[in-house]
Amino acid sequence: MKPVVFLLSILLMASAASAEPFVVIVRHAEKANNDPKDPDLSPAGRARADSLARILKDSQIAAVFVSEFKRTQETAAPSAREGIVSPTIISAKDTASLVAKLRGLDGNALVVGHGDTIPELIKALGIQTPVNIRDDDYAEIFVVILGTQPQLLRLHYP
């Protein structure tokens, strides 16, 4: 986990120097098999959510956005508690509203989304490089530095 924290620290310094806010985007953590429509997180997913909170604890997250599904809300919960931020629920398919809210922020944000919604969100934020997320991949952190020329940093976490 230390390389991820180190890289994120460098990103924070670069973002602070340029005064550009950034958006951290992750897929929800591993889900349990308790409900086919809206499952909770599995034990591995809860551990991943806790790991994410530790990684982001000094990121000055001012807003947290999740979908209407429990798995995104449970993934974001430790990070939101750490930053004392109440998550905002936006429909998983309402990318336009989410982008408008992200562009209107004064600070950094965390978005917990889904494997099929994150690529569209990243594109809507101005990143031209296509993003694909495998069905079994829960370990990616996408950091989009907003501004006139948005930039993407792609990391992995345990």
What does the pLDDT average to over 97-122? Answer: 96
SS3 1: coil
Residue 134 tokens, joined:
């495998």
Beta strand pairing status for 108-113 and 88-89?
unpaired
Structure-model confidence comparison of residues 27 and 4, the more confident one: 27
Q: What is the DSSP letter of 34?
A: S
**pLDDT computed for residue 5 by the predictor:** 54
**Per-residue pLDDT, 6:** 54
Structure confidence at residue 158 (pLDDT): 82
Question: 2-18 and 43-56 helices cross at what angle (nearest 10)?
Answer: 40
Which amino acid is residue 38, in one-letter code?
D
Backbone angles phi, psi at 81, to 5 degrees: -60, -45
> For 7, phi and psi rounded to 5 degrees?
-65, -40
- Across residues 133-148, what is the average pLDDT? 95
Quote the CA–CA distance of 58 and 12 in Å, as a whole number: 9
**What are the tens digits of pLDDT across the range 7-30?**
555 555 554 445 789 999 999 999
Give the model's confidence band at 93: pLDDT under 50 very low, under 70 low, under 90 confident, else very high.
very high
50 pLDDT exceeds 80? yes
